[in-house]
Structure 1
Amino acid sequence: MRLKFIKPLMPTLVEKPPEGEEWIHEVKFDGYRSQIIKDEGGVRIFTRRGLDWTARYRNLAKVAGDLNVENAILDGEIIVLNEAGISDFRPLRNAITSRQHDLYFIAFDLLHLNGHDLRDMALEERRDILADLIPPDIRIQFSQPLPGDAASIFHLVEQAGLEGMVSKRNDSIYRSGPSTNWLKAKCHTVAEYDLLGVEREPGKPAFALMADRKTGQYVGSAFINSSRAIRERLWKRVQEHAGPAPEGLTRPATQWVKPGIIGRVKHLRGEEDLRHASFQDFREEE
């Protein structure tokens, strides 16, 4: 049997995880959503968008080939762990090209097994089968459910420095595309960025345009919801440090600034660019 890639089910982003016994909760891993297919043609590993990246994940493909199944489709995340044992997106690309032995596949769903399409089964039944399928101590691991109530789990996830958590209805079936049967709640973090300018339009919220401190690349905007005193002090500094627009950036109603103002921004973890970001405070470079 030759199996085909299945477009993944995509969770809906929410501010807080749902409460209730009908939900299971898992860690949201910071990596590449991927799909492992094993069939009579061997093992293939696909990206979230259906690109065949088997050659890039050759070590994981070899491990998947040893699974005791005739054919299967596993849904999961390819990750790298940092020194604290937490998935870390930053070294992932380097690991793919030069450190294959650092890669893990965290399996959280099973869509097909030995000639049977499992997508109409309840999630908890699919996961029970998946858990029994994966042997211990290999680079393919089962995403264990987190015990406790949702609020307590989310607090612990945030304290541990994890990206967030995913909550899934126990009885949900698997359908490709966006779904409210899976909900992801992401934690926030605070970091410093270089201020490029402030966008202000009459009757609209003001936004700070930020750049990565190492690369100087624009990473997004942050809503300025600081105290009135901070906002007034910021605008005074912006006017005093007015400068030309960075090359390649054109934004209306923006007062650009010279380098030297560093902003503290609260934003969602695990994103390459700023998302759900708010400008907290600023300082001038020493």
Structure 2
Amino acid sequence: MAPRSEYFAIPVKGTKVPTGPDWLHEIKHDGYRIRLVREGKRVRLITKGGHNWTDRFPWIVETAHKLRSEQFILDGEAVVLGVDGNSDFRTLHSRKHDHEVQFYAFDILGADGDDYRRLPLTLRKTNLARLLRNRAEGIHAAPFEQGEIGPDLFRNACIMGLEGMVSKQVDRAYREGRCDHWIKNKNPKHPAYRRVQDQF
């Protein structure tokens, strides 16, 4: 059975960054959480609140149509990058740069009729990388690091002024709803720490 496009895994708030070989760590982009769905010639961008934002972000839609697979569901963040290469929520929220919005995919729930949600995260990452191979613009596989590097990576993310980091257990399936094997640690000096989150 194919995964439903409107259900999201939601990380829990962390008090410290987990360590160990069974965790991977992703920089948290300051953007809109989006489910990217392609079904043949139809592409949809669905927010956590269930809104259809397909018409907002043409670059993402255009790139999705160029991918070789005609059926997939990706989970990720829609972002605008500033001149420093970091995601810029204020610019994104202004709606003045919708044509510049890109998608950083950090998970794949299914493709070509196969449901990947029960696969361990490591295999989902492999399938995601395969789908996005040689696709350099518009849609990107979110980079990650694995293992003991987590706390150092988080400290550096804070120094660079990034929003924070999400740590995930590598051997776990995708679980919709609150997910205690996804842990989000926020940079307390970042504007997103004070901003009302997860409203879309």
TM-score of the superposed pair, with normalisation by structure 1: 0.64
Counterpart Cα distance in 1 of 2:7 and 2:104: 18
Shift in Å, 1:63: 1.2
Aligned-partner SS, 1:141: strand
Distance (whole Å) between structure 1 residues aligned to residue 118 and residue 2 of structure 2: 20
Distance 1:63 1:93 in 2: 22
- By how many angstroms is 1:3 displaced? 7.3
Alpha-carbon distance between aligned partners in 2 of 1:126 and 1:274, rounded to the nearest angstrom: 30
The equivalent of 1:108 in structure 2 is 106
Residue of structure 2 equivalent to 1:132:
130
SS of structure 1 residue aligned to 2:145: coil
Could you say if the C-alpha distance between residues 83 and 102 of structure 1 is closer, same or farther in structure 2, counting changes exceeding 3 Å?
Answer: same
Q: Map 1:91-240 onto structure 2 (within 5 A).
A: 91-94=91-94, 97-134=95-132, 135-146=134-145, 149-189=149-189
Which segment drifts farther, 25-34 or 97-106?
97-106
Task: Report how far residue 136 of structure 1 moved.
Answer: 3.6
Task: Pick closer, same or farther for the CA change 1:40–1:183 going to 2, 3 Å.
Answer: same
Aligned partner of 1:215 in structure 2 is none
Q: CA deviation at 1:2?
A: 9.0
d(CA) in 1 for partners of 2:86, 2:48 = 22
Q: Percent identity?
A: 34
CA 60–101 in structure 1, closer or farther in 2 if over 3 Å, else same: same
Structure 1 pair 83–132 and aligned structure 2 pair: CA distance change class (3 A):
same
Name the amino acid aligned to 1:273.
R
What SS class does the counterpart of residue 55 from structure 1 fall into? coil
Q: Structure 1 residue 58: deviation in Å? A: 2.4
**1:21-42 residue CA offsets vs partner (Å, 9 max, x unmatched):** 1000010110000011001351
Larger-Rg structure: 1
> More deviation in 155-164 or 142-151?
142-151
Q: Distance in 2 between matches of 1:146 and 1:4?
A: 29
- For structure 1, list consecutive stretches of 5 or more residues without a partner in the other structure: 190-267, 276-286
User: Residues 74-85 of structure 1: matches in 2 within 5 Å?
Assistant: 74-85=74-85
Report the counterpart of residue 35 of structure 1 in structure 2.
35
- 1: CA distance, partners of 2:52 / 2:196: 29
Task: Give unpaired runs (5+ residues) of structure 2.
Answer: none
Q: What is the alpha-carbon distance in structure 2 between the residues aligned to residue 100 and residue 23 of structure 1? A: 34
* 1: CA distance, partners of 2:27 / 2:77: 11
Amino acid at match of 1:138: E
SS in 2 for 1:91: helix
Residues 186 and 3 of structure 1, relative CA distance in 2, 3 Å threshold: closer
Secondary structure at 2:143's aligned position in 1? coil
- Write the distance in 2 (CA, Å) between the matches of 1:154 and 1:272: 18
Give the match for residue 61 of structure 2: 61
Kindly tell me the number of residue pairs found equivalent between the two proteins.
Answer: 195
Relative distance call for 1:176 and 1:2 in structure 2 (3 A) is closer
| Per-residue deviation, 1:93 | 2.0
Q: For residue 271 of structure 1, report the CA deviation from its aligned partner.
A: 4.0
Q: Deviations over 1:62-82 (max 9, x none)?
A: 111111102000000000111
Offset of 1:101 from its aligned partner?
3.2
Higher relative contact order (CA closer than 8 Å, sequence separation 6+): 2
